[in-house]
Amino acid sequence: MTAITNHLPTSELQALDAAHHMHPFTANAELAEKGVRVITRAKGVFLTDSDGYEILDAMAGLWCVNIGYGRGELAEVAARQMRELPYYNTFFQTTHVPAIALANKLSELAPGDLNHVFFAGSGSEANDTNIRLVRHYWATKGKPEKKVIISRKNSYHGSSVGSGSLGGMTAMHSQGGLPIPDIHHIDQPNWWAEGGDMPPEDFGLARAQELEKAILEMGEDRVAAFIAEPVQGAGGVIVPPDSYWPEIQRICDKYEILLIADEVICGFGRTGNWFGSQTLNIRPDVMTIAKGLSSGYAPIAASIVSDEVAAVIGSGEFNHGYTYSGHPVSAAVALENLRILEEEDVIGHVQNVAGPHLKQHWEALVDHPLVGEAKIVGMMGSIALTPDKDSRAAFSSEAGTVGLICRENCFANNLIMRHVGDRMVISPPLVITPAEIEELVHRARKALDETHAQLLAKGLM
Ligand SMILES: *Cc1c(COP(=O)(O)O)cnc(C)c1O
């Protein structure tokens, strides 16, 4: 077999990919027909593909490359760690310096008394840990029946059997026998799509109170925890009304329900603070972190838990763990990423430079004939596409048809912007400059113009 390298023509790479590579969340036969895009390099906020196109990555990979691409420091640290100690486990009453240092650093950064770190390899794994951890916590406290976890429709918590069950994606539940028992889903605070005639703040309150209703229906002694993303990411960057989170916090406190904040996207500067819980002013007992923890340079994730939860779990053996829990190379890379975030004041850049600039240009998109609302928190944003802004109407085509057309137009304009149904979402690297933000929005507007013209031509609006 000839070596497969960057030097092969794109068509050959595409054929080889189609022959043997099964893509996640993809209709593979359809993709094989169309031809996959091959990404070969990246620097800063730009990807390069095998045809030499430079693409502005407004998604930071999958919401994760917070410090941008091409930071050689992380490569150096990984190489050094691989030479010194490429792997050792943390099961056998053993540890290593990268895991010690990262757990200490995270406890310093995490708010309140979130001081104890259980490592995993991915966000899905960390949320699987959380399912077992909160149930075991209550069982240890003599309440084994307190095991229902309440989550939300259209939330995303990962793709394993456990985390996919926590998530509220119907398309995922319809395959492979999800959800597992004792997971209960309430409605999401998505005012644009589901708020009807209610004012947003009333709607936010009503949606939060669904949590109280669910607890009262099932009984407080049955409910272990509530899990939510501070701002829903994969569900379409759904920014809840201001009334939502204070009410959720009140309910969790009142009924002694553990609050799990899934910070996999919101963590590490994405919302303008270290954690989304700080931006949304919530006090979780457990936090899920991944993605921005290493800026995606190496796979690593964790659950960070409070002093009290750690004390209860630590009173006996917790029969749980992963081969790669606290992997030394990933932990060393994460530490270097955190050093860069801190020393280069990347979060200050989000607060004072990139965040305000992106907000100004992003929100200006509402004057486009296709855009109903433009939402932004820190460096995660969304726009709702609609044929009628006043009624917040959906398109008559199947949901996602227009979003997909818009995404294809973005791609054609060398911009990666994702669609979730007929919402377009962005989550660029946090280090993006004002000039790059203007280029991002310029390309987005061009793609919107083209989408608008195509919809009119096809009679879709
Ligand atoms: C991506 C994501 C996950 C899952 O993380 P993986 O590393 O893909 O397993 C969990 N929760 C949220 C909020 C996410 O965005």
Confidence of residue 165 (pLDDT cuts 50, 70, 90): very high
Residue 234 Cβ contacting ligand 1 at under 6 Å: yes
Q: Is 61 helix (H, G, I), strand (E, B) or coil?
A: helix
CA distances from 325 to 116, 302, 322, 443 (A): 14, 8, 5, 41
Is pLDDT at 1 greater than 70 in this prediction? no
At 114 the pLDDT is: 98
Average pLDDT of span 68-75: 98
Please tell me the number of Cα atoms within 13 Å of 316 on its side-chain side.
8
Residue 122 CA, closest ligand 1 atom number? 7
Mutate which of 25, 62, 122, 160 for ligand 1? The one with the most ligand atoms within 8 Å of its CB, which is 122
Interatomic CA distance for residues 329 and 320, integer angstroms: 21
Average pLDDT of span 110-134: 98
**How far apart, in Å, do the first and last CA atoms of the chain sit?**
51
70: Cβ contacts below 8 Å, ≥ 6 apart: 42, 43, 44
Residue 123 CA, closest ligand 1 atom number? 5
Residue 267 Cβ contacting ligand 1 at under 6 Å: no
At 10 the pLDDT is: 96
pLDDT digits (tens, 9 = 90+) for 292-314: 999 999 999 999 999 999 999 99
Residue 124 CA, closest ligand 1 atom number? 9
Q: How many CB atoms lie within 10 A of CB 375?
A: 21
Residue-averaged pLDDT of the chain: 97
Domain boundaries, the chain: 96-343
At 2 the pLDDT is: 72
Is pLDDT at 433 greater than 80 in this prediction? yes
Is pLDDT at 330 greater than 90 in this prediction? yes
Q: Ligand 1 centroid to 123 CA: how many Å? A: 4
Q: Ligand 1 centroid to 151 CA: how many Å? A: 15
- Going by CATH, does the domain composed of 96-343 fall within 3.40.228.10? no
Residue 229 Cβ contacting ligand 1 at under 6 Å: yes
33, 22 in Cβ contact below 8 A?
no
Residue 291 CA, closest ligand 1 atom number? 7
Mutate which of 65, 265, 303, 327 for ligand 1? The one with the most ligand atoms within 8 Å of its CB, which is 265
At 7 the pLDDT is: 86
Residue 158 CA, closest ligand 1 atom number? 4
Q: Please name the residue that has the structure tokens 């060398």.
A: 414
Residue of the CA atom closest to atom 11 of ligand 1: 157
